[in-house]
Amino acid sequence: MKLVTVLPFLVVIFLCFCLPILPSQTIVKVGKSITGNHKMVSAGGSFALGFFTPVNSNFTYLGIWYNTIPEQTVVWVANRESPIPQNSTAVFTIGDDGNLVIFDEKRELIWSSNVSFTTKELLTSNSTVGALLDDGNLILRHGESNILWRSFQHPSDTLIRDMRFHFNKISGQQTLISSWMRNEDPRPGNFSFGINRSEGRTSYYIWNQNSVYYRFDDSKKGYTLGITWYISTVTINENVYITLAYYRSLLRVVLNPLGNLQVMVWNRNGSNEWNVEFQAPQAKCELYAHCGPFGSCGIRSSGLCKCLTGFEPRFSTDWANGKWNGGCARKIALGWDGGDRFLKHENMKLPDHAISLGNMSTRECETQCIRNCSCSAYACSINACFIWLGDLLDLGNVITDGRALYVRVHFSELIAHGLSGNSAQRYKILTAKIVSAIFAILLLVSILAFIFKIKRLKRPGKMDGDSALVSSVPSGSLVGKDDMKFLQYSLQNIRDATNNFHEDNKLGKGGFGPVFKGILTEFGEVAIKRLSRRSSQGLEEFMNELKLIAHLQHKNLVSLLGCCVEGEEKILIYEYMPNCSLDKFLFDPTLKVKLDWVTRFGIIEGIAHGMLYLHKYSRLKVIHRDLKASNILLDQEMIPKISDFGMARIFGIDQTQANTKRVVGT
């Protein structure tokens, strides 16, 4: 919730606590009244309450106005429906029943706050008081803290700071703001303003008597200057409250007698008068359903209204003469036989009477709409699908905050308009489905071929030397014929190869120790890892483990070429990878561009192959336990090679259990 919307409530709460210390002139109680030119002023002096007579009027009303500005600006009127003739002297006080009341001089009731008290309250009803709070709220209070009635909940034509009025989501009951009849006549006029929440969607409405005059949505994109910049809603339990979103003291939103919602600001540039900051509706197109059913309103050279594609004016002569409210009708009736399609309209103000179907994908939304015979359009937002049944009313092209609307038309309309709708997407999806089906079949075939090949290889005497896919584990002893490839070096050899572990030769530092680049006569460039962690195993076990790991040979695994074990020094020699590790590529902005999708896919596939080998096809079951981008090295051809596998084994961490005792690495 925005602070702006919370603040007014905090102020109200704060003021409620302050009530007991209000000076006495700010209240009416039994035996105290307001009459004639007397006025009641709020504690901070911001607002005043009293009788007023508008210019050129023969009637008097009880109202609340700003007390701080010279121009009497009435924000609330009590007796709008029962004006007091000017020759009569009225009294505002607490009635015998404890309500706030206005009597005329014959003590006839003109107006009452009309609160029904409980029996207990009735017994002590002579202890109620009326008080004007400094935010302009007139309250009826019983005892010190029990507020029975608030003028804020019975608004006139003005919304002021701290004021909020409600709409009950369950009962649909709500308070409305209603315009004055004329500028000098506070009696209720033809226009009213409020919200209606239907099917999970809140819209604000201005009604002209019983018909909708103007509608706007509670769009959360508040970047464009619209009326929702100034008005917002707060939902508390089942009530939605309308309140000012814009926190400025001398700002009010008023529904004027012509049906315009105006944001007024006092003294904007030293003018010492009320200035209209914003007004809605602004254009003819904003008027409700200006173009009738299926007519779209927008500023265009051919006139404001246009029928949606696939529709034509219902009354063509009226339409030609600019009488648009008849709207449009379908050129071709819908098929209902699965032959209907959707045409996409971009940047639309969505029609009225949306039905929310909740969170679902665009496709699901489309399916829901096509299934329902009366559904004529759908639209999707991030977490909701909306459908519309029957006529589409009040839609238009908008420049900002527009949405895509999919309108249902007969299939032939799509052909007539060059297949531009969502159906084009459907064909794409269909094509994609066919392609992926073929791909899946190919994949299945190759997997079968792969398995077949392994079986063949595993059969003794059938080894054909193709060891690119599977390890050529020597049969018999662990140290077999391939053993000669795994060489042991003296520490002096390594020192020579790395220029005595010179900093210039350092490639990086892994989890198990620093890595240096070195040159060995047998292999050329190699990566030399100087282990800094101590193995929990004895030397012989360590060597055995190393030899086993050295036998894990796969295109996507970094080969262990040799080692050096002298005293405390344990060094591993790996093949050298010129293209560093994957994380360098992923997180370097310049290197990143080298990774096109083909390369990325190749890398992903390679890693998967390597892991599959380690888990399944190698003789030694190896769980990596620290697979991360920095452990994926890349060769010249960007083929990924997994490094640091088997470290868990080397360091004697139990790998036979499926669930390990602690979380290792990534």
Check binding of 374 to ligand NAG (CB under 6 A).
Answer: yes
Given the complex with ligand NAG, which of 372 and 488 has the nearer CB atom?
A: 372
Out of 24, 321, 383, 659, point to the residue binding ligand NAG (CB under 6 A): 383
Per-residue x/- mask for ligand NAG, residues 292 to 311, rule CB under 6 A? --------------------
Residue type for position 285: C
Calpha distance 445→439 (Å, rounded):
10
Peptide bond preceding 281 in cis form (omega within 30 of 0): yes
Q: Name 60's bridge partners.
A: 84
Strand segments, DSSP code E, in 491-584 are 506-510, 513-520, 524-531, 560-566, 569-575
The SS3 of residue 565 is strand
Given the complex with ligand NAG, which of 181 and 543 has the nearer CB atom?
A: 181
What one-character DSSP code corresponds to residue 557?
B
Out of 25, 68, 114, 279, point to the residue binding ligand NAG (CB under 6 A): 114
Residue 500 corresponds to which tokens in the numbers above?
């005595």
140-199 positions binding ligand NAG, by CB under 6 A: 181, 189-190, 196, 198
Span of 9-17, 112-120, 553-561, 563-571 interacting with ligand NAG by CB under 6 A: 112-120
CA angle, residues 386, 388, 391, in degrees to nearest 5: 160
Residue 180 corresponds to which tokens in the numbers above?
């004055």
**What is the distance, to the nearest Å, from the Cα of residue 222 to the centroid of all Cα atoms in its chain?**
13
Calpha distance 127→640 (Å, rounded):
85
Check binding of 88 to ligand NAG (CB under 6 A).
Answer: yes
Out of 355, 370, 404, 487, point to the residue binding ligand NAG (CB under 6 A): 355
Taking the CA atoms of residue 391, residue 394, residue 400 and residue 403 in that order, the dihedral angle to the nearest 10 degrees is -20
Given the complex with ligand NAG, which of 261 and 561 has the nearer CB atom?
A: 261
Calpha distance 640→234 (Å, rounded):
54
Residue of 585, 582, 584, 570 lying closest to 632 (CA atoms): 582
Given the complex with ligand NAG, which of 193 and 613 has the nearer CB atom?
A: 193
Out of 68, 173, 359, 431, point to the residue binding ligand NAG (CB under 6 A): 359
**Contact assessment for residue 63 and residue 40, using Cβ atoms and an 8 Å cutoff:** no
Calpha distance 304→324 (Å, rounded):
9
Given the complex with ligand NAG, which of 258 and 415 has the nearer CB atom?
A: 258
Binding-site residue total for ligand NAG (CB under 6 A)?
29
Given the complex with ligand NAG, which of 353 and 600 has the nearer CB atom?
A: 353
Out of 119, 269, 317, 521, point to the residue binding ligand NAG (CB under 6 A): 269
Calpha distance 62→572 (Å, rounded):
94
* Angstrom distances, CA of residue 41 to CA of 111, 132, 190, 487: 21, 7, 32, 99
Check binding of 126 to ligand NAG (CB under 6 A).
Answer: yes
Active-site residue among 157, 626, 635, 644?
626
Out of 145, 146, 249, 271, point to the residue binding ligand NAG (CB under 6 A): 271
Given the complex with ligand NAG, which of 116 and 659 has the nearer CB atom?
A: 116
Given the complex with ligand NAG, which of 273 and 522 has the nearer CB atom?
A: 273
Q: Name 281's bridge partners.
A: none
Element (H, E) at 201: strand 201-208
Check binding of 499 to ligand NAG (CB under 6 A).
Answer: no
Span of 143-151, 233-241, 368-376, 433-441 interacting with ligand NAG by CB under 6 A: 368-376
Burial of 169 (0-12, 13-18, 19+ CB in 10 A): middle
What is the end-to-end Cα distance of the chain in Å, rounded?
A: 38
Task: Clarify whether 626 is annotated catalytic.
Answer: yes
Check binding of 584 to ligand NAG (CB under 6 A).
Answer: no
Span of 80-88, 518-526, 534-542, 569-577 interacting with ligand NAG by CB under 6 A: 80-88
Span of 41-49, 108-116, 330-338, 584-592 interacting with ligand NAG by CB under 6 A: 108-116
**What is the distance, to the nearest Å, from the Cα of residue 160 to the centroid of all Cα atoms in its chain?**
29
Out of 282, 372, 488, 490, point to the residue binding ligand NAG (CB under 6 A): 372
Check binding of 370 to ligand NAG (CB under 6 A).
Answer: no
What are residue 228's phi and psi, to 5 degrees?
A: -70, -5
Check binding of 37 to ligand NAG (CB under 6 A).
Answer: no
* Angstrom distances, CA of residue 560 to CA of 480, 528, 540, 551: 16, 10, 18, 8
Out of 30, 416, 463, 639, point to the residue binding ligand NAG (CB under 6 A): 30
Per-residue x/- mask for ligand NAG, residues 221 to 260, rule CB under 6 A? ----------------------------------------
Out of 116, 119, 302, 636, point to the residue binding ligand NAG (CB under 6 A): 116
Residue 568 corresponds to which tokens in the numbers above?
């405390």
Check binding of 87 to ligand NAG (CB under 6 A).
Answer: yes
Per-residue x/- mask for ligand NAG, residues 553 to 572, rule CB under 6 A? --------------------
Rg of the chain taking only CA atoms, in angstroms: 40
Strand segments, DSSP code E, in 44-169 are 47-52, 59-66, 74-77, 84-85, 91-94, 100-103, 109-112, 128-132, 138-142, 146-150, 158-160, 164-168
String of b and e for 441-466 (b: at least 16 CB within 10 Å)?
A: eeeeeeeeeeeeeeeebeeeeeeeee
Given the complex with ligand NAG, which of 90 and 550 has the nearer CB atom?
A: 90
Span of 235-243, 371-379, 453-461, 600-608 interacting with ligand NAG by CB under 6 A: 371-379
Check binding of 492 to ligand NAG (CB under 6 A).
Answer: no
Span of 85-93, 242-250, 340-348, 433-441 interacting with ligand NAG by CB under 6 A: 85-93
Give the nearest distance from C-beta 332 to ligand NAG in angstroms.
21
* Angstrom distances, CA of residue 1 to CA of 152, 175, 234, 245, 266: 21, 22, 8, 11, 27
Spatial CB neighbours of 324, under 8 Å, sequence gap ≥ 6: 290, 291, 292, 295, 304, 305, 318
Check binding of 58 to ligand NAG (CB under 6 A).
Answer: yes
Give the nearest distance from C-beta 177 to ligand NAG in angstroms.
13
Span of 353-361, 438-446, 457-465, 615-623 interacting with ligand NAG by CB under 6 A: 353-361
Check binding of 267 to ligand NAG (CB under 6 A).
Answer: no
Give the nearest distance from C-beta 161 to ligand NAG in angstroms.
21
Per-residue x/- mask for ligand NAG, residues 385 to 424, rule CB under 6 A? ----x-----------------------------------
Given the complex with ligand NAG, which of 57 and 472 has the nearer CB atom?
A: 57
Binding site for ligand NAG (CB under 6 A): 30, 56-58, 85, 87-88, 112, 114, 116, 126-127, 181, 189-190, 196, 198, 209, 268-269, 271, 353, 355, 359, 372-374, 383, 389
Active site residues: 626
